[in-house]
Chains A and B, each alone.
Chain A
């Protein structure tokens, strides 16, 4: 059973960089076709996709956050990380890490899908001085 666990500071000062790490257990972060993502949820609000990374290091970000987001991966530690720069109070949210499901085609092999089959429990990050 795959498990994901977010970790990082719960309080970040305005203008600083938010840094979170997601540790994957019960499965390989380097398996073909699995992409790893960050999603956030503002207090009492809906979900917002931030971006994803493949174990090769390939990334794709939400254009609305792209200028401030960096997602990286450390396969040896089975971790992937999120950095969000120049934070403001508007970045206060619960941050989730999650895995995109994958599908298999006999001709093309594994490829990722566009649904999240496993999620971390989430971690609240508050931006405040």
Chain B
């Protein structure tokens, strides 16, 4: 199972909005609403930000939102803040009954 495809890096200025894409196939992202997004600060464990495409866990800012269209999912962060600077990973369930992650996207807040 190949990893999901994410851009290596994205950047934005404080207050702006950015979107991180996560491209899979019809065997994973395209077939299941089991896409999740994780935020990881350096040296820390990943933190769940979005689950099942567009749901936010309790405690996660509503500046974070998720969506999906076809074989691609997206994470949008609005009103960028300095603390949003981190690595972001998407994940999806697959038709092989496995879980696959994206390669990760480094978000830089300028």
Q: Which residues of chain B have C-beta atoms less than 8 A from A63's C-beta? A: 1, 96, 98
- Surface stretch bound by A, among B67-75, B76-84, B100-108: B100-108
Q: Which chain B residue shows the least CB distance to A96?
A: B45
Known: A115-B51, A120-B45. 9 other contacts (CB 8 A): A46-B102, A46-B104, A48-B101, A60-B97, A63-B1, A63-B96, A96-B45, A116-B46, A119-B46
Complexed CA–CA distance, A66 and B3 (Å): 17
B45 with A119: CB separation less than 8 A: yes
18 contacts between A and B (CB under 8 A): A45-B103, A46-B102, A47-B101, A47-B104, A49-B91, A62-B98, A63-B1, A63-B96, A63-B98, A64-B1, A101-B48, A113-B52, A114-B92, A116-B46, A116-B48, A117-B48, A119-B45, A121-B45
Q: Which chain A residue shows the least CB distance to B3?
A: A46
User: Chain B residues in contact with chain A, CB under 8 A?
Assistant: 1, 3, 32, 34, 36, 38, 44-48, 51-52, 57, 89, 91-93, 96-104
Chain A, 96-129, contact with B by CB distance < 8 Å: what is the 0/1 string? 1000010000000000011111011110000000
B87 to chain A, nearest CB (A): 9
A113 with B34: CB separation less than 8 A: yes
B50 to chain A, nearest CB (A): 8
User: Chain A residues in contact with chain B, CB under 8 A?
Assistant: 45-49, 60, 62-64, 96, 101, 113-117, 119-122
Residue from B1, B45, B89, B93 in contact with A114 in the complex, judged by beta carbons closer than 8 Å = B93
Q: Which residues of chain B have C-beta atoms less than 8 A from A121's C-beta? A: 44-45
Complexed CA–CA distance, A120 and B47 (Å): 10
Q: Which residues of chain B have C-beta atoms less than 8 A from A115's C-beta? A: 34, 36, 48, 51-52, 91
A114 with B100: CB separation less than 8 A: no
Q: Which residues of chain A have C-beta atoms less than 8 A from B89's C-beta? A: 46-47
Q: Which residues of chain B have C-beta atoms less than 8 A from A120's C-beta? A: 45
